[in-house]
Structure 1
Amino acid sequence: MYAKGQAVIQLMEELAPKSYAVENDKIGLQIGTLHKEIRKVLVALDVTEEVVDEAIHEQADLIIAHHAIIYRPLPHIQTDTPAGRLYERLIKHDIAVYIAHTNLDVADGGINDMMAEAIGLTDTQPLDEVHTDKLKKLVVFVPTTHADAVRQAMFEAGAGGIGRYSHCSFNIEGVGTFKPEEGTNPFIGQPGKLETAQEIRVETIVPQSVERRVVQAMLKAHPYEEVAYDLYSLDLKTRTFGLGRSGKLPQPVTLQELCERVKQVFDVPMLRVVGDLSRTVRKAAVLGGSGSRYVKHAQFAGADVLVTGDIDYHTAHDALAAGIALIDPGHNVEKIMKRGVADHLRRKLEERKWATEVIASQIDTEPFRFV
């Protein structure tokens, strides 16, 4: 059985909720429909002519990419232009395109965490906070026989986290009353008769970003035909999410040694570096994409070096004067997301026993060549 498009995207948004995206970012479904079975998903960094060729050859129904294929409003679609021709081919071959951009940058386990893990950073923190998850309290009334199953379903969906503690809940036993009307199919009792049931009032904490998923899991695990539950907004906040990461290196290394590690783990032939190659670095920061605007953030976080792409000339001079080193392996190192996202989706689909296949694009979309 193949997953529907909406189900695949729901699994994608478990990793990178749309609410994490920065304001006005172009994310979500950009071409096609999700109202269809998805036999194969292609995960790509960019959607280029070559990537579309690959998707057609692989008979993919959906491309999940990091960089938007439609970034500015379109006054028209002319199929004799490069962009128009690309859209035409995707539509003709019924290939949908879904974009996860800054929400994937920000997310736990997203691009910046993938980059930080690749070079071995520990005790990581965001460089620039962009989203703070609000908390809600979910209260549900469950027959005692099913309380454990309902609690576990909510916990597995993301409820019950308080700081470094998980599976947090509060439970009160009591007696519930209800009278099933005609035409109902009650789990306990008979239509037309007032009933009582031993129930447990289960309270737990739910981050707003996973609210829908937790409620769906709770309803699915609950035995009642009509579930009595309450959802309260709280004047509390939980974890803060942001762009970039800073953290400690496993051991001090020279800037030269870190450059060699970056080339290896990100599979780049060469890179640009600012700073004394013999200097010792103990703390590093990473930021996928263009990081010129985040040099001061890295410096404020106490990083000795920032690993990012698209550093401009004047920013390089400013960093040199400020005493922070820069390693620029290029914007394209975000290609690390192809394997990471594919692994996430593959694992989630297998857990649900869906036959949908997920592959990482093999196309190199690096536009620069070194000569």
Structure 2
Amino acid sequence: MIVKDFTNAIEELAPSYYAEDFDNTGLLIGEFTTVVTGVLVTLDTLETIVDEAIEKKCNLIISFHPIIFSGLKKLNRKNYVERVVHKAIKNDIAIYAMHTALDNVYNGVNGMMCEKLGLINTSILIPKSKTIKKLTTYVPKANAEVVRHALFDAGGGNIGNYNYCSFNINGTGTFNGNEDSNPTIGTPGVTQFEEEVQINMMFSSHLESSLLKALFKSHPYEEVAHEIETLENVDQQRGIGMIGEFEIAKTAEEALRHVKSVFKTTSIRHSQFISKDIKRVAVLGGSGAFAIDQAKAAKADLYITADLKYHDFYKAENSIILADIGHYESEQFTKELIHAYLTEKFLNFALVLSNNNTNPIQYF
């Protein structure tokens, strides 16, 4: 196994294409062609994590948070970032970071929060826009089935809980090749009328190159007529935050006790209780103040996130409980998610779940 095998698997779960623009995801240190001796999965990459990787003979660290977030101008080991990068390079350890790429998928960070809380009827809180595209192409009737299934195999035609989705229209295509053409059907210089099928298929934006490769490989024509357009449709599988429901409504006290128990936190900073039971719950791992309005618009009774400032709590306005459970606490189960996913993908490989607690915040 090489590093590329593992990064390819990670891209299937959380394509870096959907990471936020400000983020720094992907392979931060190392080469894709390096043979992997072992993989260490962690939430953060600190010096203690690199030491753990060395001790456990892991030369690939898969981390949720990126250790390199902004540009590095020097590597003098004067701060924790420089020391981590220096030690990783010195010991030939590759580092891959997922961060907001994993935030923005249905079964990612926020999906895990919902699962741990026991929420049902879950959906994305803030769906990403312009992440769905549509391919239109024209294929001779005799080849339509082959081309259609090649596109399906490349990931096209998936809409929410459905796959193999396409729309097909029968019609007549015309073409006339010049003297340099080599048509599969027809003769250069003669206008050809061909019974064709127009195939329309939606696909996730990050699959565009794979879909086009499948189209060109399976299509019989020398020149493949096709169109791609970006759609405004809401993507049900990608976006930040999630919202769901408790199966049975809880009082505010019961809800916060449950949250406190699930996330193993000693305290929760929260806004005033509201005068109704808690049924609908929004979650967003990490810093989530920016999504307070969306949680309110989604009629959430409780919004669980982290890093709320003093004035953020005023935004509750007695219509929702805002609960800050801590940044680390909200994302603590993420490394379990990554480890479980990779273990299923690579059954006979050494995948180590870091036992280091990287929470920088202590409570007195």
Indicate whether the TM-score tops 0.5: yes
Query: 1:105 matched to which residue of 2?
Result: 103
After superposition, where does 1:73-112 map in structure 2 within 5 Å? 73-112=71-110
C-alpha distance in structure 1 between counterparts of 2:264 and 2:123, whole Å: 25
C-alpha distance in structure 2 between counterparts of 1:146 and 1:348, whole Å: 33
Confirm or deny that 1:24 pairs with 2:17: no
After superposition, where does 1:171-186 map in structure 2 within 5 Å? none
Query: 2:352 matched to which residue of 1?
Result: 359
Query: 2:3 matched to which residue of 1?
Result: 5
SS in 2 for 1:83: helix
What's the TM-score, normalizing by structure 2?
Answer: 0.80
SS in 2 for 1:294: helix
Confirm or deny that 1:63 pairs with 2:85: no
C-alpha distance in structure 2 between counterparts of 1:218 and 1:94, whole Å: 40
After superposition, where does 1:226-265 map in structure 2 within 5 Å? 231-240=226-235, 241-265=238-262
Q: 1:279 to 1:223 in 2, by over 3 A?
A: closer
- Cα deviation, residue 204, structure 1: 4.0
C-alpha distance in structure 2 between counterparts of 1:335 and 1:139, whole Å: 45
C-alpha distance in structure 1 between counterparts of 2:93 and 2:318, whole Å: 48
Confirm or deny that 1:210 pairs with 2:196: no
Q: Match for 1:288 among 285, 297, 302?
A: 285
Query: 2:51 matched to which residue of 1?
Result: 53
C-alpha distance in structure 2 between counterparts of 1:370 and 1:77, whole Å: 32
Confirm or deny that 1:72 pairs with 2:67: no
Confirm or deny that 1:368 pairs with 2:361: yes
Q: 1:217 to 1:267 in 2, by over 3 A?
A: farther
Paired residues of 1:115 and 1:286 also in contact (CA < 8 A) = yes
Q: 1:261 to 1:228 in 2, by over 3 A?
A: farther
Unpaired runs of at least 5, structure 1: 175-198
- Cα deviation, residue 347, structure 1: 2.1
Query: 2:297 matched to which residue of 1?
Result: 300
Q: CA RMSD in A?
A: 3.7
**Deviating more after overlay: 286-295 vs 270-279:** 270-279
Q: Which has the higher strand share?
A: 1
Query: 1:123 matched to which residue of 2?
Result: 121
SS in 1 for 2:10: helix
- Cα deviation, residue 68, structure 1: 1.7
What's the TM-score, normalizing by structure 1?
Answer: 0.78
Query: 1:324 matched to which residue of 2?
Result: 320
- Cα deviation, residue 231, structure 1: 4.9
SS in 2 for 1:260: helix
- Cα deviation, residue 96, structure 1: 1.1
Q: 1:251 to 1:218 in 2, by over 3 A?
A: farther
Identity %: 32
Q: Which amino acid aligns with 1:331?
A: H
C-alpha distance in structure 2 between counterparts of 1:132 and 1:105, whole Å: 17
Paired residues of 1:256 and 1:277 also in contact (CA < 8 A) = no
Q: 1:51 to 1:217 in 2, by over 3 A?
A: farther
Deviations for 1:102-129, whole angstroms, at most 9, x for unmatched residues? Answer: 1211112111122122213333333334
SS in 2 for 1:132: coil
Q: 1:144 to 1:265 in 2, by over 3 A?
A: farther
Q: 1:141 to 1:96 in 2, by over 3 A?
A: farther
Paired residues of 2:251 and 2:277 also in contact (CA < 8 A) = yes
C-alpha distance in structure 1 between counterparts of 2:142 and 2:60, whole Å: 43
Paired residues of 2:130 and 2:232 also in contact (CA < 8 A) = yes
SS in 2 for 1:339: helix
Query: 1:180 matched to which residue of 2?
Result: none
C-alpha distance in structure 1 between counterparts of 2:325 and 2:158, whole Å: 37
C-alpha distance in structure 2 between counterparts of 1:231 and 1:167, whole Å: 19
Paired residues of 1:140 and 1:203 also in contact (CA < 8 A) = no
C-alpha distance in structure 2 between counterparts of 1:38 and 1:141, whole Å: 43
Q: Match for 1:155 among 144, 152, 155?
A: 152
SS in 1 for 2:208: helix
Q: 1:88 to 1:134 in 2, by over 3 A?
A: same
Give the number of equivalent residue pairs.
345
Query: 2:39 matched to which residue of 1?
Result: 41
Q: Which amino acid aligns with 2:20?
A: V
